[in-house]
Amino acid sequence: MNNLKDKIAVVTGGNSGIGYATAKELKAQGAKVIITGRREEAVQQAAKALGVTGIVADQSRLADTENLVAQVKQDFGKVDILFINAGIVGITPIEHATEQMFDDIININFRGAYFTLSRFIPLLADGGSVVFLSSNVASFNMANSSIYSSSKAALNSIMKIAALELASRNITVNAVSPGPTETEILNKMGMDDDTLKAAKANILSKIPLNRMGTAQDVASMVAYFCGDAARFITGAEILMDGGMAL
């Protein structure tokens, strides 16, 4: 499939999980892909494995984003596809929230995503595609997720306003909101094996399709948004949660 032949695609947080799977899918469909991430070794390792360009950039730092845009402009001239995927998860009751956790999550998931879009707009080709990675918790209230949920709800607002602002250039802006997805993030939450197993069983009991999503599920939807079949879709949020919200 060469649906995206020779399109220039930037994937933030592309060295693992959903970002990695999406970079792989976009490349398989013919795109020239640039991935970013905060850790140089991880970015270069992923870029080599995928056969794509890797650039180290921390989405929470505006200077990094501006340097990224400058480098992409110099090396590629334009961007056809922008997948704003980089993000972190954090859970805490509101009562016990720390300023540090709030700042860490908001700086990457909201502020960082906002300025990634902002600074890339001049480089976006007319007729291009922007996709945000949101989450089903943006509209699904869950205890202990207030900061993370708020960061994703804010992204959905930006997405819709950006869709209006960029419509005159025929640039589509959409969001994919996965539910529970099998990625390393789950394993990084500091749970032992038994707790992790119990947590996954509890999650599965709330999903009508009775399985977790995969990074490839999300990658396929992102690629769809960037192809010709989705040219008349903008300002849309697609829930991919196996029916959990039902």
Report, as residue numbers or ranges, the catalytic residues. 148
Q: Exposed, middle or buried, 84 (CB in 10 Å: 0-12/13-18/19+)? A: buried
The contacts of residue 25 (CB under 8 Å, 6+ apart) are 216, 219, 220, 222, 223
CA distance 129 to 231: 9
CA distance 172 to 127: 7
CA distance 54 to 171: 25
Q: Exposed, middle or buried, 175 (CB in 10 Å: 0-12/13-18/19+)? A: buried
The contacts of residue 66 (CB under 8 Å, 6+ apart) are 119
CA distance 102 to 147: 6
- Token digits for 81? 């596809």
Calculate helix-pair angle for 215-225, 17-28, nearest 10 degrees. Answer: 50
Identify residue 204 by its one-letter amino acid code.
L
